[in-house]
Chain A
Amino acid sequence: MRFLINKIVLGLSILAALIGLVFLFWILIDLTIKGVGAIDWHIFSNDLVNNGLRNLLIGQFMLALTAVVIGVPIGMIAGIYLQEYSYGSKYAEFIRNLSDVMMSAPSIVIGVFVYAIVVNPVGHANGWAGSIALAIMMIPIVVRTTDDMLGLVPKELREAGIALGAPKYKVIFDIIIKAAKVGITTGILLAFARIAGETAPLLFTSGNSQFFTMNMNQEFPSLTVAIYNLATMPDENLVKIAWAGAFILTVFVLLINLLGRYVIREKK
């Protein structure tokens, strides 16, 4: 009897895994066929006005990079506070939980929130608002990884630094962060991969633009929002561009994820 149940459970698990894999590969294959077919030199050298992706790729990268510049320091400082300075503080656990809840907040909610506090007062969508929304998505991930990775560094290493007459902040910045470097870097890479492909937080914040721009005070081009818009266009040519964009984005996010995993493996 137990043997039979075992068989059934095993069979069901395999079936479930297969269904998941089938859809995953279906998407990937479809994306690759339609995406690769749509890629040519033209889309890299022209902006959206001329049926190209150049301004979108650069725009997406700028938005994500600015989000990293805003989000990583804030997240790391918060993580350092939680792990290194908050002994016995009642607020520490509260902040940890809050940060974890933030991690699973729907990205559209973050988009609407930033719309209310940044876009509305300014009066129009702009690049900064988009980056702020992405940074808000990133911060909890960075807080969590920094906190966890610093927690893995043995306390003897901190004590050894202090025992040599070093001030505590020096020990943290010279020794402890270095010891946790690989883990924290991986966390930041994965957080970057997570935000690089987001549409919802950008929809109401950075808007979109057909033209090449580096001015983050204006509406800002991004690949994800453009794919969202183009995909429903009647013009077949534009739909093709959307496929190319989707393919490039997927490959990019996949590569960062692989890089992150590779860094972890190298460490071990």
Chain B
Amino acid sequence: MTDITTEKARIGAPSAQPFINGFTEEGESLSPLNAAESKAPLAGEAVKRHSHGGGVGIPDSSRAGRLTSYKLADFKPLTGMEEDWRFTPLKRLRGLHTEVLGGAAPAVSITAPDSVRVETVGRDDRRIGSAAIPEDRVSANAWENFAEATVITVPSEVQVDGEVSVLLTGQGTEASAQHIVIVAEKFSKSVVVLDHQGTAVVSENVEILVEDGAQLTVISLQEWNDDAVHASSQQVKLGRDAKFKHIVVSLGGDLVRVTPSARFTAPGAEVELFGLYFADAGQHLEQRLFVDHAVANCKSNVLYKGALQGRNAHTVWVGDVLIRKEAEGTDTYEANRNLVLTDGARADSVPNLEIETGLIAGAGHASATGRFDDQHLFYLMARGIPEDVARRLVVRGFLNEIIQKINVPAIEERLTEAVERELAATNH
């Protein structure tokens, strides 16, 4: 184990506001969480532990101090100045943060082997809230408004051949709420694909429970139409020795904001969080992830890669990794790489590693945004390769590292083709 002498190191964090001892921000610290009232399992201890730390000495920008609650009213209306919304164009959320989400949610159509249980349940189902708690206002808004939830269960010790395919087809532009629960029971092994298509304005909560010894891969594909708006909180809770692989692929939509969170509850568990995004002119693709190392001896590995082309293509990647005092023996690495293909595109990348214990196996982060520049282009063209082919060659190679991790040939092929289509779009 590496012995890091710094008690608490914050690397790459956006400059934390100076915290003044004893200072409380009234609105926030006095906000009643009413945790006891909620029946949801995460609301008790978790809410208290995660509740906003404005009054107890945790600076606002520490991920540990972020407010979480099932109640929309606990989250103040958004201004765009909040740390977790500062990059998001709120105007383009089309009411996901302000309106009652009463529109028809994207239609759910599931193809799954017989061994997998698929149910549609009401709001009072005991599994609702078993793995997730909203971390922002838009997620809480969906939690308060969803009509019914889809619950997918992979029973204990079942190894599923092939993947569970969940097709979510948008039903139009009325702001809506969606709720999905995925439970991978003990020692099961499976792959679930969430395939988002069509036109929707939707806030979605995906709860993922990976029980002891289970292995689960969740692939979330955002291939929306150009006018879609999608906020998706995808939270996973891991049991002992559980393994979870998450792959987020965002290609289509006007604004897509995916916020994956992983929480360890017992030692020996491992998460791999991968992402691929390709923003064209005018698109806003945002990914903010959180890995909460709250227990000892867990592993996390994060790699997101993004390509951008066209005017006002904007991508955001924020990677919050928190290694709590209890989480000795943690091994974590996170990286984000962006490739800017044309002028006028902008990639924001903020790795944010907080370490509260010195007794860890490893912790690292990396962030790099490179330009596909004239020198690369000249070299390839000087070998006879036409400009469009050269561009494709570079981007394909760059993104392939993530596509290869999917391991579902049909989806790999589909994404390779989708990337080619993105490149063919002449918006630069």
Co-complex (A, B)? no
